[in-house]
Amino acid sequence: MTTALAPHRTPPPPVKVNGLEVIGVEFAETPLSTPAKPVHFKQIVKILLEDGSVVYGCAWAGCGFIGDTAIAVRPHLKAHKPDTEPGKKLDAPDLSTLTVSELLELAWSAQTLRLDLERTTRERERLAKSLTEWKQRAQTAQRRLSSIQKVLAPVT
């Protein structure tokens, strides 16, 4: 079974994880969390699936990294940290103010943007290639024309 995404799906689809529909997303609680004083991870979400099972995911838009536990997702978060300048935050998402549906929408639009970018890049490469081809054709035509003119010159 392939997990490749269809490139041209337009309507926001029901978001699925492991083939199961996502019915809820919330920030995962850290091991320090207590009912009296809940503490949540800022970059790890708890994802509730239609069959009642729970998985944990990276909260970065469009990432889609999934783990069985919040702790399993944690090492992956390094992937989003810039290697240099530890003080500088690059596009860290402020997800705390978003609703679940906004969160899912964000993930979806990031995915769409990425596909758009890939398409645009491909298109640009294609155009650049055809431009080169046209230049070559034009040069060839020019050469032919001048050789024909040379041949015809004595006649005219």
Residues that bind Zn ion (CB under 5 A): 58, 60, 63, 65
Least distance in angstroms from the C-beta of 9 to Zn ion: 22
Task: Give CA–CA dist 46/66, Å, rounded.
Answer: 10
Task: Give CA–CA dist 12/81, Å, rounded.
Answer: 29
Task: Give CA–CA dist 38/60, Å, rounded.
Answer: 21
Structure tokens at 95: 């997800």
Least distance in angstroms from the C-beta of 107 to Zn ion: 11
User: Is the four-CA dihedral 23, 25, 31, 34 of positive or negative sign?
Assistant: negative
Least distance in angstroms from the C-beta of 115 to Zn ion: 18
Which one, 43 or 48, has the nearer CB to Zn ion?
A: 43
Which one, 41 or 60, has the nearer CB to Zn ion?
A: 60
Which one, 50 or 74, has the nearer CB to Zn ion?
A: 74
